Structure 1
Amino acid sequence: MLKLRLLLCMFFLGFPGVSAQPLVKITGLITDDFKNPLSKVTVTVLGQSQSTISDDNGLYNIYSSTFAFTLKFSLLGYKPVLLEIKSDKAGRILRNVKLNINSNELEQVTITSKTNQLSNSTILNVNEVASMPSVSGNFEVILKTLPGVSTNNELSSQYSVRGGSFDENLVYVNDVEINRPVLIRNGQQEGLSFINSDLLSSAKFSAGGFESKYGDKLSSVLDVRYDKPDSSQAIFNMGLLGASFSSKILNKNSYLLAGLRYKNNSSVLNTQDNRGSYAPNFTDVQAIYHQNLSDKFNLSFLGSFNSGIFKLIPEDRETQFGTLNTLLRLQTVYAGKEVDDYQTAGGAVTVTYIPKPNLVIRMISSYFNTVEREHIDIEGQYIFAELNNSFGNGNFGTIRTNKGRGSYFNYARNNLESQSFSTGIKIDQTYSNHTFAFGMRFEQKDYTDDLNEYSLIDSAGYILQGLKNFYQDNLISVKNKLSIQYYTAYIQDSYQLSPQSDLQLGVRANFNTLSSQLLLSPRLLIAYRSINNTKIVRFTAGVYQQAPDYRSIRNFNGLLNLDQKAQRSYNTSVGMDYAFDGLGTRLKFASELYFKYQDRLIPYMMDNVRVKYLADNEAQGYTYGADFSIGGEFVKDLLSYFRVSLMKANQNILKDGLGFLRRPTDQRVNFSVYFQDRLLNSPTYKVHLNMLYGSRLPVGAPLVQRYNDDFNIPAYKRVDIGFSKDFLDDVAKRKPRFLEKYFNSFSVHAEVFNLLNINNTVSYLWLKDVSDVQYAIPNYLTGRQLNLKLIMKFKNSRQ
């Protein structure tokens, strides 16, 4: 009874003390860069439970139970603001706040950027790349979650867009066009892509209908910027698959960005069926220096060195496949090794002259040299058998029928050196209702290629040699030397028809010394924005012509078709972006319907990531489809999005008499989810889930006399999951003092790749048994794997 009275006394004595605790009321107006009031801005008192949102007039009211506290203002699409407040007494405090646009997040869920209205592109949230669980660790992982993008290989940074090949995608870094290696056969040979995620300031991607200022390829554009940082910073990233360090140094009239990356994914490669000694080592060094020479002149330099060495000493392989009725197994013992390496080095210089605020002139020159080498000596001795599949007699998994014994041998001594030099000028001028863009560019590409390779298959006692078709890599021994010059120019005008509608007209001209064609490519974009600024409707139409390059003119035997003409596609699309409130957040729904008719294509085949052109053939084709996506902050401050793409891509190789067949990249259905959530009701613990599905892809057996699509690679299904904790998150109630003193961010990540341990097929090994029946033995991709990484962002010592 005494305890009860004591508790009651404490309650009644303590309660008035709590309710009488002094309160500070903070009120104010929240606006954007243009002094427009912002509604639905979340306002929180860090370390306390108080939170509110601004009303339709941008006004907010919130209370604090302490005199010294920090307010956080956040709205998706804008940079968060932290406001420290100190008061010596209770009462009312007035604080007006301005939020600045965050271009990395803006286009995900809101429609406010007029620039993007005329670009038909998606602004990527580059800050999400570090949190996305990815085996490759490359920036392109974010592209594979976008509408219209297809992939079936987590090891590769290559991607297909709306039925196009890997070679149909444009990539720009600071207005400099980047080219990909030629000799890459499979994803495990690929290392670090050119783009360094730690140095990025912005990126945007167009899956089609892009404007005239971009180059002459058929499918997509990725436009990446390494721009001026907000402040000096150093970032260190270390994990089981590699490490990176980057530094950003900001001075009054200059800035320097530098990055060093290293990657070794041998632990992931060891989860494949081919067991052996893997030694992949990839490094990359990049630097960007910018100097303001005066108010009107500035100079920028981009330098890069990218190196990769892939070594493999295979030991053995065991692959089981088939159905419940027919269970098959291939056992192989290897001898020999494979050594592949490549180095790319080069740089670009950009001089910018701004004689007046509405006129910008840029002169850009670049040079890159790439050396690629393949050395392969691998022999395999195999036993191919059908297994017992009955559980009842205890013989499950034992050999029922021996399908054959044999061997195969792969040999290659391939060396390719390519050089690319370009120089050009870009001019942008704005008037009252017009924005004019004009540019000219000269590029020269030189290739020196020494090809020596062959493969032999001794299946059931005979050698498969001398087949007269383009599918069997029997014997190639050629030396090619080629130089191509390209001359391009473009002009376009973006015109405001009315406050809600815009028109963009442009045309590109292209001439090259290989095909000696003058190619003209007109392009059109019309956009309408609703009065309430929640909807944009776009229509695009244009001609896209891709001039022949060394890769497309080289046939299966290594010989060059110097008479090849440019590929051409007539593209149309209509799309809508719609922003609305739902599920307690701001959402953006995007959709686009498209149709492409190609009256001139160079057909090709796919083997893993190797594109093998039928350079002496020509085809016609068509592609149509629809892309849909929806995204938003389903969980506060964490972006998530869902997308689905439907597509059909067919081609007709002329004069083969077979009519229209599926293109190698005809992936009818693509679906992806990137979802983020919080764990344990704590804002500092997060989960990042990445799910991909791509329907089956057509593939043909190599031992037939024609191109065909009567076989399929099974659907690609993959789930990767990551968990992270940032000890210095803005919403953390307790922060370690040591970390807070030296770091802006200190996060730990745990990732599980291929969570469901699905065997995805990337290609096939083709063998015949003693009955001359051909079998496709699947080459599987990586299995389940755990990865740990640590990301540290150091504080600026000068602050």
Structure 2
Amino acid sequence: MKTINKLFALLFLVCSANAFAQNKALIYGVLLDESRQPVEGVSISFDDNGEKGHAVSDKTGAYKLEIPAGREIIISYNHVSFIPASVPITLPPGKKGEINAILESSSKQLQGVTITGETSRQRIIGLTRISPEVIRNIPGANAGVENIVKLLGGNSNNEMSTQYAVRGGSYDENLVYVEDIEIYRPFLIRSGQQEGLSFTNTSMVENVEFSAGGFQAKYGDKMSSVLDISYRRPTRFGVQAEASFLGGSVTADAISKNQKWSGIVGARYRDNSLLVNSQQTESNYKPTFTDVQAMVNFTPSSKWELNFLGNISQNKYNYEPLYRQTNFGTVDEPVALVIYYDGKEKDQYTTYFGALKSTYTVSENFQFKVIGSIYHTMEQEYFDILAQYNLGEVDTNIGSDTFGQVKNARGVGSQLNHARNNLDALIANAEIKGYHVINNNRLEWGVKYTHEDIRDRLLEWEVIDSAGFSIRPPVADIKNDQPYEPFTGPLVPYQDVRATNFTQINRFSGFAQWSHRTKVGQADLFINAGARAQYWKVGGNVEGKGQTTISPRAQLTLKPAWDMDMLFRLSGGFYNQPPFYRELRDSLGQVRPDVKAQKSIHIVAGNDYSFRLWERPFKLVSELWYKKMDDVNTYTLENVRMRYRANNDAVAYAYGLDMRMNGEFVPGTESWVSVGYMKTEENLNDRGYIARPTDQRLKFAILFQDYVPNIPSLKVYLNMVYNTGLPGGSPSYADPYLYQSRLNDYRRVDAGFAYVFVDSKSDYPKGHWLSVFRDLSLGLEIFNLFNNQNAITNTWVRDVYTKNQYGVPNYLTSRVFSLKLNVSI
């Protein structure tokens, strides 16, 4: 209880760091072994002309040590199980430096050393670094990298989806890189429960960096965020496995004897039946989501590295709904929707991805990379589902034989949905990147060619029959007053989309940026300025004009010469987003080749404060931001399906404040607290400003890790999220100016409990059955701990007699229990 009190008290706490003597500095960091596990008991020391210092790493591998300032000091690392090693470092008086390292058991040098002076690269450019261990431990229905991004600048009210919206942007405005290679996602997915697996294999991750805006020119042409992921380079043979009621994974590391070849391969299987069966719709649900991913590294010399990254993924989604009853309304006037289904849905998404990257280090100050990648996706979406519904009052008489059932039906009807959608897309990229360091100047540049070839057929329609007649589409200029007056027009579907598109897009893009470090008095000033440019042209069965965008960007970071470790950032520029295929296709499925790039001016002012509390490290980051957007391509959002209007006929704005703090609230564990406020609106054809589909005002999230004091092997993980309701309570075909309702607030707590049998601190004698494991834990996960009813969309049902439409909530998952086993050898 004391720990929880500390957690909430820190939200309002303003702290100051300890000041050091003017002739002293401080080093600190974390020491890991070859499998990235913390090493306890490492002796860290120095001996400088008779002045000595000594420290010992704790059970989390963390340490700190005061050293003399103003001259080079040799730091020595010694442990009985590892080869001794040393690292030189020089720090100004009163400053701090971070040295993180991987200790080797069979080599004579320290591997993977990361040394940062008083300011790290991530802090300078505004990237948030996320620990892979935190990512692996966080509980959630879709646990992984995207799950924790939602705790930062990203928002989502759908635990079934890995998609996220950042600071008012859409799902299509986020960049994702793995090993410098841009990652794509399937096109046709319309529901979170169809997604299955994200591209990123959490078991292969070594480093994750995230920016919610104001990022540098070297990152691509998107308007909202960047997620930059690096996979680890194996240093030994090892196998990791994970199994739960939702699926499992196996990951293997290998390295050659001469250490020139290394590789990591992972296979994953996912089954969402446990989650989907907790929803209100009874169904026969048979999903299989599988993928195999591999990264192979070849280092022929100390200057040259060659990497291959490959992925094969197949998502099969078979869905046969049977029955649904959803109660809504008020206590005084309860209403229920009862639906009987017939038919089924059969979807399949198969993707192939391969990339080659060659990195050549000409010298310490000159490096360049050549990258080539191919992404191929084949998608089909077939369904015929008949829904016969009854809308009416609920019998609330406890003694009645029909208690809980629908009586006094207000509306009876049926709805038939049909689709035969196919998409085949091939995307190829070729890219060259380089950097040069000249004194305190760093120059980075890159050029890239992209070819996109999309073959797309859309054929879907919806027919609604109510009280014996067919309901026509909501077209304003056709008068339809059924059943009071006969209507003699032709029978047409309520919604009808038919299109065949063969589209090719060629893109040429490039960037150049300059970074410089200088002094302003005693303060450090970091400057970055650069620009991106892209030319693209749409061809195929429709031809468009060639278009060009130029996006200048800049960052300023100031680190005052204060005792407290604080810096200030100001960044921004133009973030233009040329349309991808999905943005070229309008709501009727037609490709409009001359859709322009959406334009955004983005300004971010940030403060980054690192301090120590209870002798443990903490960080508080605050960002105030504003976006002004032109040529906005408006869209409707239904679950995760986006339909663009493809006409650039709106302007928009977004502004907000994000605050987050992370640190060791409990010794040896890292926890996160984040609070955010955002407002975003759009003005369509000068009709006035209304909320955008991602206008989620308030966000509060906590990721908390703890252990039982008397049983330290029993770990506890909590993932708590509160978001105010999104817009989108209106039909996708409706005029957004007529429907401005919101969904209910999103509240969810996921909990994980794990008993650790073996970890890096365990010391079992040879021959003991547990001695073969490097890690072994068994846990219980509880999703939606408090069983909150969260809705993602509404189903709109028409009462023909009153001409009212009822928004019936489509609820997400209820409380679900799952066991989880983790093994590493």
Q: What TM-score, normalized by structure 2, do the two folds share?
A: 0.83
Taking only aligned residues, the RMSD between alpha carbons, in angstroms, comes to 3.1
Is 2:27 aligned against 1:38?
A: yes
One-letter identity of the residue aligned with 1:509: A
| Cα deviation, residue 97, structure 1 | 10
Distance 2:758 2:646 in 1: 56
Asked if the contact 1:72–1:81 (Cα under 8 Å) also holds between the matched residues in 2, the reply is: no
Distance 2:79 2:498 in 1: 69
Change (3 A) 1:161 1:367: same
Distance 2:145 2:426 in 1: 25
**For residue 150 of structure 1, what is the aligned residue in structure 2?**
155
Is 2:252 aligned against 1:242?
A: no
Q: Any residues of structure 2 matched to 1:63-82 within 5 Å, and which? A: 72=59, 74-75=61-62
| Cα deviation, residue 357, structure 1 | 1.7
Distance 1:434 1:707 in 2: 51
Distance 2:536 2:645 in 1: 21
Aligned pair partner of 2:624 in 593, 596, 599: 593
Aligned pair partner of 2:221 in 206, 216, 221: 216
Distance 1:220 1:437 in 2: 20
Distance 1:366 1:596 in 2: 32
Is 2:127 aligned against 1:127?
A: no
Distance 1:246 1:764 in 2: 40
Aligned pair partner of 2:671 in 635, 640, 654: 640
Structure 1 SS opposite 2:473: coil
Structure 2 SS opposite 1:782: coil
Distance 1:570 1:128 in 2: 33
Is 2:79 aligned against 1:83?
A: yes
Greater mean alpha carbon deviation, residues 189-198 or residues 401-410: 401-410
Is 2:611 aligned against 1:580?
A: yes
Change (3 A) 1:73 1:484: closer
Aligned pair partner of 2:497 in 451, 476, 482: 476
Measured against aligned partners, the alpha-carbon deviations of 1:491-529 in whole angstroms (never above 9, x if no partner) come to: 001101226111000001111113522211000000012
**For residue 675 of structure 1, what is the aligned residue in structure 2?**
704
Distance 1:529 1:305 in 2: 45
Asked if the contact 1:274–1:317 (Cα under 8 Å) also holds between the matched residues in 2, the reply is: yes
Structure 1 SS opposite 2:583: helix
Gaps of 5+ in 1: 1-34, 43-48, 63-69, 87-93, 795-799
Is 2:542 aligned against 1:518?
A: no
Asked if the contact 1:121–1:205 (Cα under 8 Å) also holds between the matched residues in 2, the reply is: yes
Distance 1:608 1:131 in 2: 27
One-letter identity of the residue aligned with 2:447: M
| Cα deviation, residue 77, structure 1 | 10
Distance 2:81 2:431 in 1: 52
Distance 2:413 2:656 in 1: 45
Change (3 A) 1:61 1:204: closer
Gaps of 5+ in 2: 1-23, 32-39, 66-75, 89-97, 103-111, 478-492, 539-544
| Cα deviation, residue 598, structure 1 | 0.5
Measured against aligned partners, the alpha-carbon deviations of 1:229-252 in whole angstroms (never above 9, x if no partner) come to: 343321111111111111111231
Asked if the contact 1:649–1:663 (Cα under 8 Å) also holds between the matched residues in 2, the reply is: yes
**For residue 176 of structure 2, what is the aligned residue in structure 1?**
171
Aligned pair partner of 1:201 in 198, 206, 209: 206
Is 2:721 aligned against 1:715?
A: no
Change (3 A) 1:423 1:399: closer
Change (3 A) 1:593 1:402: same
Is 2:469 aligned against 1:462?
A: yes
Is 2:430 aligned against 1:423?
A: yes
Q: Any residues of structure 2 matched to 1:276-425 within 5 Å, and which? A: 276-389=283-396, 397=404, 399-425=406-432
Percent of aligned pairs with the same residue?
35
Distance 1:766 1:373 in 2: 26
Change (3 A) 1:166 1:382: same
Is 2:277 aligned against 1:256?
A: no
**For residue 655 of structure 2, what is the aligned residue in structure 1?**
624
Greater mean alpha carbon deviation, residues 723-732 or residues 553-562: 723-732
Change (3 A) 1:585 1:352: closer
Distance 1:622 1:191 in 2: 33
Is 2:231 aligned against 1:226?
A: yes
Distance 2:695 2:765 in 1: 51
Distance 2:658 2:393 in 1: 43
One-letter identity of the residue aligned with 2:593: L
| Cα deviation, residue 375, structure 1 | 0.5
Structure 2 SS opposite 1:546: coil
Asked if the contact 1:247–1:258 (Cα under 8 Å) also holds between the matched residues in 2, the reply is: yes
| Cα deviation, residue 222, structure 1 | 0.4
| Cα deviation, residue 395, structure 1 | 8.0
Structure 2 SS opposite 1:699: coil
Structure 2 SS opposite 1:750: strand
| Cα deviation, residue 39, structure 1 | 6.4
| Cα deviation, residue 41, structure 1 | 9.2
Structure 1 SS opposite 2:590: coil
Greater mean alpha carbon deviation, residues 723-732 or residues 534-543: 723-732
Structure 1 SS opposite 2:135: helix
One-letter identity of the residue aligned with 1:546: Q
Distance 1:153 1:469 in 2: 33
Measured against aligned partners, the alpha-carbon deviations of 1:589-635 in whole angstroms (never above 9, x if no partner) come to: 11000000002210111101111111235210110000001111111
Change (3 A) 1:618 1:689: same
Asked if the contact 2:29–2:100 (Cα under 8 Å) also holds between the matched residues in 1, the reply is: no
Structure 2 SS opposite 1:163: coil
Asked if the contact 2:616–2:664 (Cα under 8 Å) also holds between the matched residues in 1, the reply is: yes
| Cα deviation, residue 138, structure 1 | 3.6
Structure 2 SS opposite 1:765: strand
One-letter identity of the residue aligned with 1:782: T
Is 2:707 aligned against 1:686?
A: no
Q: How many residues in Structure 1 have an aligned counterpart in Structure 2?
A: 730
Structure 1 SS opposite 2:193: helix
Asked if the contact 2:29–2:99 (Cα under 8 Å) also holds between the matched residues in 1, the reply is: no
Change (3 A) 1:298 1:637: same
Q: What TM-score, normalized by structure 1, do the two folds share?
A: 0.86
